[in-house]
Amino acid sequence: MSRLYLDHNATSPLRPVARGALDAILGEGRPLNAGSVHAEGQWARTRLERARQMILDAAGWSGDELVFTAGATESNHLVIHALKGVVVSSRLEHPSVVNPLEKLEAVGLLECRWVPHDGEGRHDTAALQDILQGADHALVTAANNELGVVTDLAAWAGACAVAGVPLHVDASQVFGRLPLELPDGVTSVTLSAHKAGGPVGVGALLLRGGRVVHPVLPGGHQERGRRPGTENVAFAHAWAELLRQREDRLWQGLAPVRDAFERRLETAGARVLAKAAPRLPNTSSVEFPGGDAEEMLMLLDLAGIAASAGSACSAGSIDPSPVLLALPLGEEAARRVLRFSLGPEHVGLAGDDLGLRVLRALDA
Amino acid sequence: MSVPLISPNSDVPAVDPGVVRGRAVVAMSGGVDSSYVAAALASEGFEVVGIAMRLYGDPDAAAGKSCCSPDDLLDARTVASRFDFPFYVANYQREFRERIMDYFVAEYRAGRTPSPCVLCNDHLKFDTLLERMTRLGGSFLATGHYARIEERNGRHRLLRGVDRQKDQSYFLFGLRRENLSNIRFPLGDLTKEQVRSRAAELGVPTATKPESQDICFVGSGSYADFVEKRLTPDEIRKGPIRLAGSGETLGVHSGIHRFTVGQRRGIGVSGRRPLYVQRIDAASGTVWVAERTELSFVHFTTERTNWLAWGVPPDRLKCTLQVRYRQQPVEATVRVDPSDSTRTVVTLAVPERAISPGQAAVFYDGDEVLGGGWIDTVEGGGEPAGP
């Protein structure tokens, strides 16, 4: 039986359009340094700027500034390391936001305020107004990577606008999958290519409204000195070509598959987390009573099914997801949770059958 | 493959590549021994699932010398990639802390000398991991221990490894009798040199990796420092150093966890002849020292004794015995408590030095491990042991 890949929130395999574009540009064998002044460099520059504009268009960004990075972690860090003063964010953010914020707070460079949330992973937007009083910056994800909960960006942007606080949005899990609504109060946005079938290793940071960033690794003048290092022209090109296909419509078709998948798991006594919250159409975090996530992952993998649980350390052992612990789910419960994330290849499939396949594997 | 990969005595016929012979779960540490076991089983057609146990956070970040450090887990993963079988890291940090490290500290605190490797085998490898093997649909659990399990007359017996320099049967006495049929030690018939050369032949990337020896989780510091860091000041038992026999107080010490029976260096007192730790009395915090000739005893008791050769052991048995890893076996008579077979009284044929409470006493009949227990009280040497 062929493998069943249910881990698209970790990375979604390269879509055919992106692969075709990548093959084409790499296949030409040209030098691809967009910073060189010669004709070859100019050719690369043209491709890079074209990709930049296509990605800006796909994001519907009214600003014209896009800094290419190696991915979402780097984009988030570019923003965070330029912050001073009081920062408002959420404990449910990705580790590439929570970890640097905590580190900078520990050395006294920032003061963090965490927006409360309910047991479904929804921010308490009613509390935002007060929390933002006297704050200097706000950071929030567009959709949570573990639970799939979609943030009420309009509420965040509205509250930030009232308080005069610039808002950064990490749209890694949304861009390329759902239409991205970016209200006016948003002054910077993190984008990632590979969560929606672009190449792993390219991302971007969108900027406007005077948002300033400084290079985390000082070096050359690339990206107007904000992100030194030779730009990844080929990956940017492939990403842009993929976005032009508007495959987000595919992803939106996953909701009925996901719902049927979850219903099947629920018949076996599993509990879907954050079910009452608005969620990405592809993401299910599921608690299996009496389950052990580590062992369930092994059973699934041996049965040909890829899923995920928590965060893997460098050695490959799994620790409970910080998002689940912050929900808060107790450590014991967090160790019973698996995350399944569907992708474009599952559109039109019977979610019930997928759920059944998972249950059979776990029953071994 | 024309060479028998696993066991020269194996009656397993050569198989066509690609023939699946059942699922073998292999405990992998990243060292050459378990790497070779996994690689060889995979090459023999078993559906290998490699599992490494993550037991602790890095004791000190730079340490990569003992098994199961993050670097070693990566080595194990490399072997799995090379031989194309699934590999997982099992996070047993909490179990390890609760069952092994806490015990290690508690034993030193009680004036005993712990044997964490035995506990790790009993409670993690051949308990938690063995259960997982079953749940993963495995046919057996294989490890890189130098010991043998052979079925003779319908009974599975635990035997010494043929490489006497490497024999690890001493650490395995606590295996449960009923589990022996689910465990395989494919290296039991091989010498270390054979394993290395076969590993190299097979292309195992860790073939020339150096041995790990120290207690894995302690890191580069001393055991005493490791234990001390985990004790509150109230828990550190200080007291006098006294000379056995005369009872004379020779000095004071900074905590009984810094001493092990038989220890000579670092005691901090001197006599006319070299002095050794003879006995540690945790209740009074007294470290008793004596000259070398007064360290030997013939009687001791064991507790939590595990029997492998019998479900119910005989009341009295003659056997050979080791009270330490790498010790010439000595002859002994073991009397089993008729009302509780986990307790024994051991009488040695000749006095033995430095029998340490907390260490394991393992009973053998030739190559076969009959059972073993934890040394509890020691007495009856040429000299009275008490104050």
Phi, psi of B240 (to 5 degrees): -85, 155
Mean pLDDT, residues A49-72 taken together: 95
Domain boundaries, chain B: 23-202, 237-294, 296-381
Percent of chain B at pLDDT exceeding 70: 89
Strands (E), A266-329: 271-272, 283-287, 305-306, 311-312, 318-319
In angstroms, rounded to a whole number, what is the distance separating the alpha carbons of residues B52 and B72? 9
Chain A residues within 8 A of B135 when measuring between CB atoms: 295, 299, 364
Predicted pLDDT of residue B310: 95
Mark whether B117 is an active-site residue: no
Query: Rounded to a whole number, what is the distance in Å from the CA of A19 to chain B's nearest CA?
Result: 26
Predicted pLDDT of residue B196: 95
In angstroms, rounded to a whole number, what is the distance separating the alpha carbons of residues A310 and A335? 8
Place of tokens 């249910």: A6
Q: What is the pLDDT of residues A107-138, one digit of tens each?
A: 999 999 999 999 999 999 999 999 999 999 99
Which one of the listed residues A313, A315, A317, A363 is annotated catalytic?
A: A313
Give the CATH architecture of domain B296-381. Beta Barrel (2.40)
* pLDDT value at B61 more than 70: no
A167-170 and A186-192 as β-strands: parallel, antiparallel, unpaired?
A: parallel
Cβ(A110)–Cβ(A83) under 8 Å? yes
Nearest-CA neighbor of A77 among A43, A46, A103? A103
Cβ(B362)–Cβ(B368) under 8 Å? no
Crossing angle (nearest 10°) for helices A233-244 and A39-59: 40
For A165-196, the DSSP string reads: --EEEE-TTTBTTB-----TTEEEEEEESGGG
For B32-68, the DSSP string reads: HHHHHHHHHHHHTT-EEEEEEEE-SS-SSTT--SSTT
* pLDDT value at B380 more than 70: no
DSSP structural state of residue A13? P
Amino acid B165 reads Q
Which of A295, A301, A317 minimises the CB distance to B54?
A317
Mean pLDDT, residues B10-30 taken together: 70
**Nearest-10 Cα torsion for B225, B229, B235, B239:** 20
Closest Cα in chain A to B132? A295
Cβ(A76)–Cβ(A98) under 8 Å? no
Phi, psi of B312 (to 5 degrees): -120, 115
Size of interface A-B (CB pairs under 8 A): 48
What is the token pair recorded at B299?
């009687």
Please determine, looking at this structure, whether the domain spanning B23-202 carries the CATH number 3.40.50.11540: no
Query: Rounded to a whole number, what is the distance in Å from the CA of B309 to chain A's nearest CA?
Result: 33
Query: Rounded to a whole number, what is the distance in Å from the CA of A10 to chain B's nearest CA?
Result: 18
CATH of B237-294, one of 3.40.50, 2.30.30, 1.10.15, 2.60.40: 2.30.30
Cβ(B38)–Cβ(B49) under 8 Å? no
Q: What are the structural domains, with CATH classification, of chain A?
A: 4-13+250-362 (3.90.1150.10), 16-244 (3.40.640.10)
A167-170 and A137-141 as β-strands: parallel, antiparallel, unpaired?
A: parallel
Tell me how many degrees the CA angle B72-B76-B77 measures, rounded to the nearest 5.
Answer: 115
Contact A316 B89 (CB under 8 A): yes
Predicted pLDDT of residue B136: 96
In angstroms, rounded to a whole number, what is the distance separating the alpha carbons of residues B252 and B272? 18
Chain B residues within 8 A of A319 when measuring between CB atoms: 91
Q: What is the pLDDT of residues B197-243, one digit of tens each?
A: 999 999 998 888 887 766 777 777 788 888 999 999 999 999 999 99
* pLDDT value at A316 more than 80: no
Global ipTM? 0.87
Q: What is the pLDDT of residues B65-94, one digit of tens each?
A: 445 567 788 899 999 999 999 999 998 988
Mark whether A313 is an active-site residue: yes
* pLDDT value at A281 more than 90: yes
Nearest-CA neighbor of A142 among A77, A90, A66? A90
Average pLDDT over chain A reads 95
